[in-house]
Amino acid sequence: MRSRIVGLVLVFAALLVFPAVPHAQAPQQPAAAKQPAPPAPPRDLSGLWNARNPRGLNLPDSWGKVAPVLTPWGEEQFKMSKASNGGTYTLDQTNDPVITKCQPPGVPRIYIHPFPMQITQTPKEIIMLFEYDHTVRQIFLDGRKHPDDITPTYMGNSIGTWQGNDTLVVDTVGFNDSTWLDRIGHRHSDQLHIVENFKRVDLNNLHVDITMEDPKALAKPWQGQMFFELHPEWDIMEQVCTDNSDFLGFEK
């Protein structure tokens, strides 16, 4: 089981005030050449994963080095955002819905919150359990289509299709417009469409390529990428936003 010295409240406070950083790793000792990781089991993403940066840098507040190309509507919405991460606003000034209302971060923003996720897989679906506020996402693998009368949600309606034995393509629509795409305030409409390529490159490493399309907010598709490392020795812990909002004095 994974141990932590700092309490969950302080972890959450650090998340809001400082740039996101990966879980600390023990210093590496001099050793022989690193052996390649064992191959991944075919068509299997299951495990407990934590985000990492391949160059050892901080996790991002946004996606990539290039800002999105916004429509006039998207520009107007972005100007109204008062982000406390990567912005100039303090915690009592921000209008970030994750902070002020404890709303779910949504997809894809939830990936850049520095908490692990656990993937459980059956032949019919994948369940993603995020430690951050115990958020749950379903990805259906049974060949169904997106419903015509889709109900808008924070995580959207996700359909997965395997390409080969190591890559899952996930198509997601049906979002509400309550979330930000990142932690600095780029917003989206209910027309958001996300395609993710989950590629398990070996037993211990998972790469996710993300393409965001939104004709109302984005003048052209916006792309991002995340890297995850397997941690079979960890367990998902309980992290509840409303508990920490009391500590930080936020409005519920």
Q: Which residue has the higher pLDDT, 113 or 33?
A: 113
What three-state secondary structure class fits 151?
Answer: coil
- The proportion of the chain whose per-residue pLDDT surpasses 90, expressed as a percent, equals 68
Interval 240-251 mean pLDDT: 64
How big is the chain, counted in residues?
Answer: 252
Q: How far apart are the C-alpha atoms of 106 and 209, rounded to whole Å?
A: 16
Q: Is residue 54 part of a domain?
A: yes
Q: Is residue 79 part of a domain?
A: yes
Domain that holds residue 190: 8-18+41-248
Q: How far apart are the C-alpha atoms of 159 and 147, rounded to whole Å?
A: 11
Residue 220 has pLDDT above 90, yes or no: yes
Helix 241-248 × helix 8-17 angle, to 10°: 70
Provide the pLDDT confidence category of residue 59 given band limits of 50, 70 and 90. Answer: low
Poorest-confidence range of 7-11, 103-107, 225-229? 7-11
In CATH, what number is assigned to the domain containing residue 191? 2.40.128.20
Residue 133 has pLDDT above 50, yes or no: yes
Q: Is residue 208 part of a domain?
A: yes
Q: Is residue 106 part of a domain?
A: yes
The 10s digit of each residue's pLDDT in 176-201 is 999 999 999 999 999 999 999 999 99
Q: Is residue 64 part of a domain?
A: yes
Q: Is residue 31 part of a domain?
A: no
Provide the pLDDT confidence category of residue 2 given band limits of 50, 70 and 90. Answer: very low
Q: Which residue has the higher pLDDT, 58 or 114?
A: 114
In degrees and rounded to multiples of 5, residue 232 shows phi and psi of -65, -15
Note whether 242 and 60 are within 8 A (CB).
no
Residue 138 has pLDDT above 90, yes or no: yes
Q: How far apart are the C-alpha atoms of 62 and 161, rounded to whole Å?
A: 27
Q: Is residue 173 part of a domain?
A: yes
Q: Is residue 33 part of a domain?
A: no
Q: Rounded to a whole number, what is the largest CA-CA distance in the chain? A: 58
Residue 42 has pLDDT above 50, yes or no: yes
- Number of domains comprising the chain: 1
**The pLDDT value given to residue 110:** 96
Q: Report CA torsion sign: 12, 139, 222, 185.
A: negative
For residue 183, the one-letter residue type is R
Residue 25 has pLDDT above 50, yes or no: no
Q: Is 56 left (phi over 0), alpha (psi -120 to 50) or beta?
A: left
**The pLDDT value given to residue 36:** 80
**116-149 burial code (b ≥16 CB/10 A, e <16):** bbbbebeeeebebebbbbebebebbbeeeeeeee
* pTM score, whole prediction: 0.83
